[in-house]
Amino acid sequence: MTSTLIHRIPAIALSLVLAACASNGPRASDDAAATTIAPKMALQELKAGNARFLSGDVRMHDWRHERTVKTGTDGQTPSVGVLTCADSRTPPEMIFDQGVGTLFVVRIAGNFQNDVAVGTFEYGVAALGVHTIVVMGHTKCGAVGATVAGKDLPGKMPAFVAAIKPAIAELPKGADGKASVSDAEIANVRWQAGQLVQNSEILSKAKADGKLDVLCAIYDVETGAVRFLD
């Protein structure tokens, strides 16, 4: 979508178009608000949630209440978007100890951005109130490891290698001619986060207006700790 086109669409019309995609749009209510991380609290609450996950002292959830009353009836008001890997060890709701209706998540091998991911977060920001997006890679990532190794992969798997490759192209190479996988995991997160915003006029504008924070993080699959990058 060009900026000219966006500017031609009144904000309210855009929100109506976007709201039409939702089975149940956001609606303010005390219950729904309770599931929302306030803008200034996002990073602090994510860190606190990960600390609870690490300690094992996680919140008790009434899943049925969260599903039916808080979000099923009143609609969703997620405040934090997460782009992370499909890896079975990286479930963001558990890692950040969050319940139903708080995180707006895109998962794909190698946590790379593409048009579908961008469009998904545009919807989250424009229609649902997402004010923070975390691009979270992880240690021992098979998709990043395969890209570093330059393996020939069958089927459609070369698609994620192609998406990660430009993110690590500038990394220094070791004696084996390859970059370190941990450096590549960090470089991939930073590059994908940059591209996510750069490829979207809606996200770029929200960021420029101070309505969107984009954070980068690496999850350690052995310790369970999330490290937010500067």
Rounded CA-CA distance 83/161 in Å is 17
* Minimum CB distance to Zn ion smaller for 162 or for 208: 162
Q: Output the smallest distance, CB 110 to Zn ion, in A.
A: 6
189 binds Zn ion (CB under 5 A): no
d(C-alpha 64, C-alpha 70), whole Å:
9
Q: Which is nearer to Zn ion, 143 or 212 (CB)?
A: 143
In whole angstroms, what is the distance from residue 177 CA to residue 149 CA? 10
85 makes contact with Zn ion (CB under 5 A): yes
Stretch that binds Zn ion, among 75-83, 86-94, 97-105, 214-222 (CB under 5 A): 86-94
Is residue 218 a contact residue for Zn ion (CB under 5 A)? Answer: no
Q: Which two tokens stand for residue 11?
A: 């904000």
Residues constituting the chain: 230
Question: Which of 80/184 has CB closer to Zn ion?
Answer: 184
Under the binding rule (CB under 5 A), the answer on residue 87 touching Zn ion is yes
If the CB atoms of residues 117 and 143 are measured against Zn ion, the closer one turns out to be 143
Q: How far from 33 is each of 15, 24, 67, CA to CA, in Å?
A: 20, 15, 14
* Binding flags for Zn ion, 131-160, as an x/- string (CB under 5 A): ----------x-x-----------------
For residue 194, give the amino acid letter. Answer: G
**Alpha-carbon span 184 to 168, nearest angstrom:** 6
CA 110 to chain centre: 12
- Nearer of residues 76 and 84 to Zn ion, judged by Cβ: 84
Instruction: Point out which residues bind Zn ion (CB under 5 A).
Output: 85, 87, 141, 143
